[in-house]
Every structure is written in structure tokens, then in C-alpha cells.
Amino acid sequence: MNVITTDELLQKIDAGENISIIDVRESDEVATGIVPGAKHIALGQVEASMDQLDKSVPHYIICKAGGRSAMACEILEENGYNVTNVAGGMMSWEGELQF
């Protein structure tokens, strides 16, 4: 499984790279702030929502600390998606938040 730090992800965002960020936390957690531009798909909905994701774009998967995003990465990887787990998750995120 590919892994990236929150600092590395922030650099990609700042560089304007065409990436997709998927936040797999629950709705109440996302209400406290999400990475700007991220799409919210709770972990339990990942399999049912895969058809909404473009297989030609790299997806960076984030949660609170990295555990649930790792599970989501496994599901998506098994289905042919290019995914990277964001280590440390939102607990390590030092960039702006969208509410």
C-alpha cells in the first residue's frame, strides 16, 4: 500500500496537482472540518460508492489517524484504483480546513 504524510499531501495540493482526496470518516467527524476539496465517503459506504470514483486519477484516502483509510485503501486497491493512505490522518493535518 502506498503511504504519504500529511505534509507531502499538502505540498501536492499547493502545487495544484490533479488529485482526489477521499475522507472516510463519519459525518459527525467531517463536520469538525475536512481537507478543502476532499470528497466525503464514510468507510462503510466505500464499496457502494466506488462507481463515483475515477480510476484514472490518484486518490489520497484520509481518516482521523490512518486506520480506517488503510482499510478503504485495501478495498479500493483490490478493485483497481490507484490509492495512497494518508499517514496520521486529520490528527496530523496542519493545512486549512473546510467546514
CA 53 vs. chain centroid, Å, equals: 12
63 a catalytic residue: yes
CA separation for the pair 35, 94 (Å, rounded) = 10
Structure confidence at residue 6 (pLDDT): 97
H helices of 1-99, in order, are 6-14, 27-30, 46-49, 67-78, 89-92
User: Tens digits of per-residue pLDDT, 5-27?
Assistant: 999 999 999 999 988 999 999 99
Structure confidence at residue 84 (pLDDT): 98
- Domains of the chain (ranges plus CATH)? 2-92 (3.40.250.10)
Out of 63, 83, 86, 90, which one is annotated catalytic? 63
Report which DSSP code applies to 89.
H
Q: Which three cell numbers stand for residue 38?
A: 476532499
**Can you tell me whether residue 45 is helix, strand or coil?**
helix
